[in-house]
């Protein structure tokens, strides 16, 4: 009985419900899981009067034209390179066809939803509406239940299967919340504390020696164990560049999980004597800048709360502080914006107060795409196994990143910390096959995915660096040559375990171990591709600063130029591997590889090549 309840469709009673036209009763499944997703268990039937904030993604009438425009403005060989689209131009391309709007409005009306009450975003391609669980169940011919996460005890309301009337399938890309179970609490932040790496007090001596262009030869051996902004600035050749376009250029950090970037850990308060000299620095014990980038002392950052994201300074998070400290540490004095994104509070059984159970990615993308001006560079350090994300959801969200890229933003994502996959890597489609497990959004072809390295003189790929091939997204043309070369030297090893025709990642890499992070006033060592992504984003932010200061457009979507003109601007990483799924995974080698991508950046070379 329970299994039928979990996967079966709900035949709603017509009592008290609108009379629904027969044309809306010819259902076809839109997405269904074979089993309840791993890590979740059935708790109870969702109350019919619980309010859902339902989001409907309509088919975008000219999405192919948007992708064409994205590649045109991102291709240095194209006459439109750098001519990024405005918010209004993007929205015109993603707007639904009027016939789709009319049809869906008729469907909503038949289910008792006033089309005039619906919030329409992103050129009308996204509909936000409030409905009861009972209404949503009838509209989508499904059963909403309360599920509990076994690791966090969080409750959410989801369904294991949903359908749409056959007539609507060509007009609707996705409905949420439905079958995407990953709340941000269960979603992995791609970082972890490394207590075995003894933290250092400061690196003032090394920082003072950063004169002339940084190079591998000038990086002290200590950077092989503990990483500071000085290590990174020397390794990646940014130490002599001083940003000039700080009135225009900005770097954005997308934050989730209810984590907050703590000002007490990042910024300091100065006390000056009568001559204006600094006499004391107060903060939460020592601060990050005072220890590791003294020229930035006094700098703060902007926090933007998205959908109730909050900014609780008494409850800082390791991930959030890692992100902001190293994004700022690399890009100073470029203004940084931390987006504290809510949207997924736990559902509390027996609580009749409506709660928003949507996915925060959608909340953040709704917000950022609705802004007229957006930062030129973004970094995000979260991800899920691709197979746990419904394909309709992943495809729709990936398309939203394409919109952001078309508007001139460079978007970095960490590649994940499980190599080619954690655990036994069994598929969740009922076949229980062993398969490498790519990460999403790392696998989206419209973002730049950052893997991890370690050591110096030379750097090597680190074993946890996420990398592989998507099972959802095909291989984009910009990387076809580089990936073909890699596959040619693989000689068939493990080829049955991954989709060699899929989008390959990471695209690039940066250091990912032993980052010195100030947390609650103390320095701790942190690792993960969560460290790599803000580091690489900091380098890109400096390149954008240089371009803007020269009267040019920002880089925007990076991958087409990185795989062509930018290749020579990377330190090629030729050793290291990323084991997982009870295999040795992939190995780094000459050129692109699915451990370190094209390699780590050399700012000076990139500045000459693509700046």
What the block records as the tokens of 357 is 């159970």
Q: Is 549 among the residues known to form the active site? A: no
Residue with tokens 């969200």: 397
CB-count burial class (<10 Å; 0-12, 13-18, 19+) for 605: middle
Q: Is 328 among the residues known to form the active site? A: no
Nearest residue to 453 (alpha-carbon basis) of 462, 463, 466, 445: 462
Pairing of β 522-527 and β 192-193: antiparallel
- Degrees to nearest 5, angle at CA 55 with 50 and 57: 155
Q: Is 530 among the residues known to form the active site? A: yes
Catalytic residue among 154, 259, 290, 323: 323
> For residues 443-479, b (16+ Cβ closer than 10 Å) or e, as one string?
bbbbbbbbbbbbbbeebbbbbbbbbbbbbbbebbebb
Is residue 598 within 8 A of residue 508, CB to CB? The reply is yes
- Give the helix/strand (H/E) hosting 29: strand 27-32
- Degrees to nearest 5, angle at CA 231 with 229 and 232: 65
> Cis peptide before 441, with omega less than 30 degrees from 0?
yes
Catalytic residue among 470, 530, 541, 587: 530
Torsion angle defined by CA atoms of residues 283, 289, 294 and 300, in that order, rounded to the nearest 10 degrees? -80
What the block records as the tokens of 540 is 């890109």
- Degrees to nearest 5, angle at CA 174 with 169 and 180: 135
Q: What is the DSSP string of 372-394?
A: SS--SEEEE-EEEEGGGS-HHHH
Is residue 392 within 8 A of residue 180, CB to CB? The reply is no
- CA 589 to CA 594: how far, in whole Å? 9
Catalytic residue among 154, 259, 265, 319: 319
Is residue 45 within 8 A of residue 12, CB to CB? The reply is no
Torsion angles phi and psi, residue 461, rounded to 5? -65, 140
> Cis peptide before 177, with omega less than 30 degrees from 0?
yes
3-state secondary structure at position 37? coil
Which residues are the active-site residues? 319, 323, 530
């Amino acid at each position: 009985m329970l299994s039928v309840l979990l996967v079966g469709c709900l035949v709603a009673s017509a009592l008290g419900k609108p009379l629904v036209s027969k044309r809306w009763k010819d259902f076809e499944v839109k997405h269904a899981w074979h089993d309840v997703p791993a890590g979740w268990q059935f708790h109870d039937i969702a109350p019919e009067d619980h309010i859902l904030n339902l989001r409907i993604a309509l088919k975008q009438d000219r999405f192919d034209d948007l992708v064409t425009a994205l590649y045109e403005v991102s291709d240095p060989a194209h006459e439109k390179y750098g001519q990024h689209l405005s918010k209004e131009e993007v929205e015109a391309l993603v707007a639904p066809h009027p016939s789709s709007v009319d049809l869906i409005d008729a469907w909503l009306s038949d289910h008792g939803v006033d089309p005039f009450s619906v919030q329409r975003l992103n050129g009308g391609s996204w509909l936000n509406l409030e409905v009861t669980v009972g209404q949503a169940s009838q509209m989508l011919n499904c059963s909403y239940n309360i599920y509990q996460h076994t690791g966090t005890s969080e409750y959410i309301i989801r369904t294991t299967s949903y359908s749409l009337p056959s007539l609507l399938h060509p007009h609707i890309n996705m409905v949420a919340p439905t079958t995407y179970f990953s709340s941000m609490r269960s979603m992995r932040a791609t970082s972890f504390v490394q207590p075995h790496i003894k933290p250092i007090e400061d690196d003032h001596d090394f920082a003072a020696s950063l004169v002339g262009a940084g190079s591998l030869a000038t990086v002290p051996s200590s950077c092989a164990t503990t990483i500071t902004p000085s290590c990174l600035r020397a390794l990646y050749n940014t130490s002599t560049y001083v940003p000039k376009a700080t009135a225009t250029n900005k770097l954005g950090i997308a934050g989730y999980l209810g984590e907050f970037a703590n000002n007490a850990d990042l910024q300091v308060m100065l006390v000056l004597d009568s001559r204006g000299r600094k006499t004391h620095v107060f903060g939460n014990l020592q601060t990050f800048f005072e220890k590791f980038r003294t020229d930035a002392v006094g700098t703060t950052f902007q926090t933007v709360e998205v959908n109730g994201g909050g900014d609780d300074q008494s409850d800082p998070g390791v991930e959030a502080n890692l992100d902001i400290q190293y994004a700022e540490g690399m890009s100073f004095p470029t203004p940084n914006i931390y987006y504290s994104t809510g949207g997924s509070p736990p559902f509390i059984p027996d609580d009749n107060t409506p709660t928003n159970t949507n996915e925060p990615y959608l909340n953040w993308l709704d917000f950022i795409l609705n802004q007229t001006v957006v930062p030129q560079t973004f970094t995000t350090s979260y991800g899920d196994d691709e197979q746990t994300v419904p394909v309709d959801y992943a495809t729709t969200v990936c398309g939203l990143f394409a919109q952001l890229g078309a508007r001139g933003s460079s978007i970095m994502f960490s590649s994940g910390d499980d190599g080619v996959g954690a655990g036994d890597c069994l598929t969740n489609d009922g076949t229980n096959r062993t398969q490498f497990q790519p990460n999403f959004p790392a696998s989206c072809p419209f973002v730049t995915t950052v893997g991890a390295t370690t050591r110096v003189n030379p750097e090597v790929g680190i074993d946890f660096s996420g990398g592989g091939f998507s099972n959802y997204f095909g291989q984009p043309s910009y990387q076809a040559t580089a990936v073909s070369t890699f596959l040619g030297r693989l000689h068939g090893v493990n080829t049955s375990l991954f989709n060699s025709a899929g989008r390959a990642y990471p695209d690039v890499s940066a250091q990912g171990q032993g980052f010195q992070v100030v947390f609650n006033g103390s320095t701790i060592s942190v690792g993960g591709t969560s460290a790599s992504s803000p580091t690489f984003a900091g380098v890109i932010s400096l390149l954008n600063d240089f371009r803007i200061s020269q009267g040019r457009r920002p880089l925007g979507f990076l991958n087409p130029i990185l795989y062509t003109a930018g290749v020579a601007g990377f330190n090629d990483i030729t050793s290291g591997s990323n084991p997982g799924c009870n295999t040795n995974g992939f190995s780094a080698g000459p050129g692109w590889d699915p451990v370190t991508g094209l390699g780590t950046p050399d700012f000076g070379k990139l500045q000459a090549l693509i700046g």
